[in-house]
Structure 1
Amino acid sequence: MSDISFDRARRHVLGLGCERGTPPAEVLTLANEALKTAGIGGAELAAVASIDSRSEEAAILAVAADFAVPAVFFDAARLEEETPRLKNPSAIVFAHVGCHGVAESAALAAIGGDGELVLGKIKSAHATAAIARIGLQKA
C-alpha cells in the first residue's frame, strides 16, 4: 500500500482485470460503470489495482491516468490470500492466473485487512472491475 495515499475523500480502490490487449476505452467505460453502480465519484479513488502480469497493460494504466491515481500491482500469490473475502471466486481464473479473482482480490489487497468490497466483480467483454473501501480508522 506504500504508493496509495488514503484520506477522507479518497477511500476507495478500483480493482481491474483484463485480457491482454483490451482497448483502453473498454476498460475506462467499465471503470465508470463500476463507479456509477457503487455511487462513487472518481475523486473518491485512491488507486487502481491489478495483477502484476498486467503492470504494463495500456488499458489499466490509462484508467489510472484518467483518474490521476497510482496503479498498483500484486503477484498472484498475494491476490490468492484474499480468496476468503471474495464475493465471486472463480476456478477458471485460478486455472489461468493462479488466483481465484483479479479485480476483487486486487482491490482488497490494496485496501488492506480492514477494508471491504463495496462492489463485487462486474464484467465487460474483456475486462472485470470491483471496488473496495478502506476501514474508517485509516481515513
Structure 2
Amino acid sequence: MNRAPGVEDPLQFALALGLGCDRGTPAATIYQAISEALAVCGGQPSDVRAVGSIDLKADEAGLLQVAREQAWYIHFYPAADLAAVDVPNPSETVRRYTGSPSVSEAAALLVAGADKADLIVEKHKLRGPDGRNATISIARIYP
C-alpha cells in the first residue's frame, strides 16, 4: 500500500475505483472483487466517490449493474487516455486486448485526479467461479 508521508488512515480521504473485467463478467464476480479490494484498505462502498474504466466496457452488463445498484457514475476513458498514465503494474496482455497497458490502475488514478491521488490497492485480481476475471484498483483522493 502506498501512503503519503504522515498519513496513517487512508479513509480520511475519499476513494476512487478503477474497474477492469473480462467480457461477460457477472455482477456477482465484480461485487466480490470490489468487496475484497475495499477490505484490503479498510474501505466501504460508501467511501467511493469516483469510478472509472475503459470505454470498451461502456456496455458491459455486469459492470453497469454494479454501478446502477451502488448509484455510482462510471467515467469511461479511451485507451489512449489510460495509456498515458504512469502505473506500477503495466501489462502487455492488457495492452494487446485494450490498447492500453493498464485499465484498473490507470482508471483509478485518472478518475481520482492523478495529480492529487495515489494508489492504495494495486490490481486486486479475482477469477470468479464463472471463470471470468475482474481487476480492481483503488486510489485515495486527496482534497
Same fold (TM over 0.5): yes
Q: Structure 2: where are the runs of 5+ without partners?
A: 1-10, 128-132
> Where do 1:89-128 residues align within 5 Å?
89-112=90-113, 113-125=115-127, 126-128=133-135
Secondary structure of the equivalent of 1:124? Answer: strand
Q: 2:46 aligns with which of 16, 40, 43?
A: 43
Q: Distance in 2 between matches of 1:13 and 1:115?
A: 9
TM-score normalized by the length of structure 2? 0.82
Q: Distance in 1 between matches of 2:63 and 2:51?
A: 8
**1:128 & 1:66 partners in 2: Cα distance?**
19
Aligned residues: 127
Match of 1:18 among 18, 21, 36: 21
The structure having more radius of gyration, on CA atoms, is 2
* Structure 1 stretches of 4+ moved >4 Å: none
- CA shift in 2, pair 1:69/1:9, >3 Å: farther
Indicate the structure whose relative CO is greater, using CA pairs within 8 Å and at least 6 residues apart: 2
Measure the CA separation in 2 of the matches of 1:62 and 1:132: 22
RMSD of equivalent CA atoms: 1.6
Please, what TM-score do these two structures have when normalized by structure 1? 0.85
- After TM superposition, the structure 1 = structure 2 runs for residues 31-70 of structure 1, keeping only pairs within 5 Å, are 31-70=34-73
Encode CA deviations 1:50-74: one digit per residue, 9 max, x unaligned: 0001011112112222322211110
In percent, how many aligned pairs have the same letter?
Answer: 39
